[in-house]
Amino acid sequence: MLILPPLKYNYIYIENEFSGRPEKAFTGTIIKRFGTASNGIMYHYCIILGTDTKGNILIIHNDSNGVEIQTFDKWNENWGSNWSVEYYNRDESSIPDIISRTTEVSDKHFHNRLNNCEHFANYAVFGQEFRDSLQSLFSEITQKLLFIGFDIQVETGSEALQKRYNKFKRNIFKPKSRIQLKLNSTPIINR
């Protein structure tokens, strides 16, 4: 169970990147920066907790160590100003629900696809998991791979199964090049 430290303030001020003016951002504001392990392809998300009694800005995030509280400076170490606000929480009355959901899922183990930092932030702030950028990336890649126009021939060993597959293939694939697969104990791919 996540134990929250005492806070001096449940908000911080963040300079708005468009207006240049400071904006009040309550607990539950979602911040993102490029992910360390993704080489700049994916983002790493956290939510603002507030300011501790020493004046440090605290965030909560989920990574391979699980859900943890860190200072913003530690979380953003080596990234400089390469972060942005994904969502401003301007509703102070939502904080008890956000804290409740945060502690509720704090014991769930991290998983890149099923319980990552973006899932955590979305659930803690909004109460539901949204499709995240990692799933979107895999979905986009999969869609492009499925419809690149290969004619795939599969030998199933069953005439009925072969007919069903051939019907499926005619409806989906438009032949441009040919790949043959033979399904037995070890698939063989011939180009």
**What does the chain look like in DSSP terms, one character per residue?**
---PPPEEESEEEEE-TTT-SEEEEETT-EEEEE-TTTTTSSEEEEEEEEEETTS-EEEEEEETTEEEEEEHHHHTTTTTT-EEEEE----GGGHHHHHHHHHHTTTSPPBTTTB-HHHHHHHHHHSSPPPPHHHHHHHHHHHHHHTS-EEEEEE-S-HHHHHHHHHHHHHH---SEEEEEE-SSS-EEE-
Residue-wise pLDDT for 130-145, tens only, equals 655 555 555 555 544 4
The domain of 71 spans 7-131
45 and 81 belong to one structural domain: yes
Per-chain mean pLDDT for the chain: 76
19 and 76 belong to one structural domain: yes
Domain membership flag for residue 141:
no
Q: Determine the pLDDT at residue 50.
A: 94
Question: How many structural domains does the chain have?
Answer: 2
pLDDT at 118 over 80: yes
pTM: 0.66
166 and 92 belong to one structural domain: no
165 and 98 belong to one structural domain: no
23 and 117 belong to one structural domain: yes
Domain membership flag for residue 39:
yes
Domain membership flag for residue 1:
no
Domain membership flag for residue 25:
yes
158 and 183 belong to one structural domain: yes
123 and 156 belong to one structural domain: no
pLDDT at 42 over 90: no
Domain membership flag for residue 137:
no
126 and 152 belong to one structural domain: no
152 and 67 belong to one structural domain: no
For 111-126, what is the mean pLDDT? 89
113 and 168 belong to one structural domain: no
